Structure 1
Amino acid sequence: MQTVTLSIFRFNEFEKRLWVLGQMTANKLGMHYLPKAKFWKMFGSGTGQGFTPKPNWHVWSILAVWPDEETARREVAESPIYQRWTKMADESYTVLLQPTSAWGKWDGKEPFEPVKPASDVRPIAALTRATVKFWKAERFWAREPAISHMIGRNKDVVFKIGVGEVPFVQQVTFSIWPDARSMEEFARGAGGPHGEAIKAVRAENWFKEELYARFQILGTIGKWEGKDPVGEALTARPSEAPKPAPAPAAAQPAPAAEAPKPAPAPVAEKPALAVEMPKPAEPPKPVVEAPKPASAPVASKPMPQGGKPNFKGKPGKGGRKENA
């Protein structure tokens, strides 16, 4: 998946600054080459908040587009250009990025291949690149002081820098924000200097070419001003993670609590069997009535009148049998 790197270098000593100026000249002459990079640029930077036409001779940068993160990390560590710059610099810092949206062109190309993220990106990086029409440059830069003042006071911005290929007319701004909401509030806030500048750009057609891109941050390499500001924002990102945790709590074992309810059903069946079990015990009643038929022979009362029964003739008087 495409990975973009923005590497920033600080050169404090005069000799080192002369050296990097020579590197920029060699690049313009086509003497530098990054074979694994799809697209790459070298930049100078501005003073103050970075968004000024006055150059900062101490800070320089390289932006490159790589086929994947593995290649990006390897080339930043091993490529001769990056090795020379890192060795010469007093401080270096690289932010690894994945494009999530892009609109416009850069030198007639579309260098970024955005991939829509699965969820909200936090923190979020924004890059704007524009070629200002020469006769509009004065009006463009007249807006800069108010914008620099505004972003300098903004507590939401995690990191920011303004760089450029050609002074005054080819400018790049790069900034990192906690989330899209805070970035949009700065960029398009009603009545804000940046929002008003955007309106003027559209109304007066200041730009010859422009490109806008947003990125998800993959990681960082090195330190800037003795710390890792972007890395700190990344480690703070999991603080959002506990919010989903209540969801499992909401899916309480309530369903499990209802599971025991079927258990009473088997208990109810036991009494039913216990009630029907005694019913077979009723057959003994006929056993009690069985002797009653036995009393029938006893009830044969003619015996006193005739004596013993005469099987050959009728009984005689006195109950004796008559001889045949």
Structure 2
Amino acid sequence: MPQVVSLSFFRFDTPAARLWAFAMMGLARRGMSRVPGIGFWKLCGSGTGEGFTPKPNLSVYAILATWPDLETAKSTIAEATVFEKYRRRSGENWTIYMNTASVRGAWSGQAPFEVGTTRKEGPVAALTRATIRPGILGRFWGRVPDISAMIGKDPNVIFKAGIGEVPWLHQVTFSIWPDTQTMNGFARTGPHAEAISAVRSEGWFREELYARFSLLSEEGSWGGTSPLARLDAS
């Protein structure tokens, strides 16, 4: 069976819940390492606005994980203590389940995602992760507002989030698009394309990973609805 990747988002509405979630960025590590069946995993915070900003959003956190199959992913996320704690304290949560369609690069020195043998047409999710070289932080974050504004105005993007393990240095972008052609059209034009060119020519990243996923299923809601409902509407 192909590996399954889950990405869970949690929104915390009260000051006490936000303080708890912030503390869990460190305290949850032991519990995550003991979750049965889990493979690679990361605890992430998020950015404000469209998510692609250097200012932390203390209301939203995310957990990324890999699993041997969809059944294991769903049952463990439903039953594992650490996930149950996050759900109980959050005002809203949403999990997307995916298969990896393509990947290149490394994350914390590992190759976390396994490409499935089947190819699926239709909606696609894109994830980029980078360790930014400290010396270029000013240039990197100077580019981000233009990219954030561009993706925020794009009517084709179904869902978008900027998350990360370490503020300013370890950044993850995640977005869902109706198809590969639409996603590529965004990536190859405007501020995003200019930033990618600078990444290559100036060596902005110490480590980087790029992955694309096909969507399997979802659980929960975000903003009071299913983010994937826009796919059905279109």
> Structure 2 length normalisation: TM-score?
0.96
Q: Deviations over 1:101-144 (max 9, x none)?
A: 00000011001001243442x11000000000011111111001
CA RMSD of aligned residues (A): 1.3
Identify which of 164, 168, 192 aligns with 1:194.
Answer: 192
Matched with 2:160 is 160
Distance of 2:160 and 2:58 partners within structure 1? 17
1:6 aligns with 2:7: yes
* Distance (whole Å) between structure 2 residues aligned to residue 134 and residue 86 of structure 1: 35
Q: 1:119–1:38: structure 2 CA closer, same or farther, 3 Å change rule?
A: closer
Greater fraction helix: 1
- The letter for the 2-side match of 1:170 is H
User: Could you say if the C-alpha distance between residues 224 and 46 of structure 1 is closer, same or farther in structure 2, counting changes exceeding 3 Å?
Assistant: same
- Per the alignment, residue 128 of structure 2 pairs with 128
Counterparts of 1:69 and 1:18, CA distance in 2 = 32
Distance 2:120 2:62 in 1: 30
Shift of residue 207 of structure 1? 0.3
Q: For 1:143, what is the secondary structure of its paired residue?
A: helix
Say if 2:45 is the partner of 1:44.
yes
Task: Tell me how far 1:14 sits from its aligned partner.
Answer: 0.1
- Tell me, which stretches of 5 or more residues in structure 1 are unaligned? 238-324
Contact 2:31 2:82 in 1 (8 A): no
- Identify the structure with bigger relative contact order (alpha carbons < 8 Å, sequence gap 6+): 2
| TM-fit CA distance, 1:27 | 3.5
Q: Which residue of 2 aligns with 1:106?
A: 107
Matched, 1:82 2:83: yes
- Give the structure with the larger strand fraction: 2
Cα separation, 1, equivalents of 2:214 and 2:233: 15
1:223 corresponds, among 221, 224, 228, to 221
Identify the residue that residue 69 of structure 2 maps to in structure 1: 68
Number of the residue aligned with 1:26: 27
Q: Which runs of 5+ in 2 are unaligned?
A: none
Larger Rg: 1
Runs of 4+ in structure 1 off by over 3 angstroms are: 116-119
Q: 1:139 to 1:74 in 2, by over 3 A?
A: same
CA distance in 1, matches of 2:110, 2:173: 18
Structure 1 residue 231, shift from structure 2 partner: 4.5
- 1:204 aligns to what? 202
Alpha carbons 1:133, 1:206 under 8 Å: kept: yes
| Mapped partners of 2:14, 2:139: distance in 1 | 35
SS in structure 2 opposite 1:7? strand
| Secondary structure, aligned partner of 1:36 | coil
Shift of 1:76: 1.1
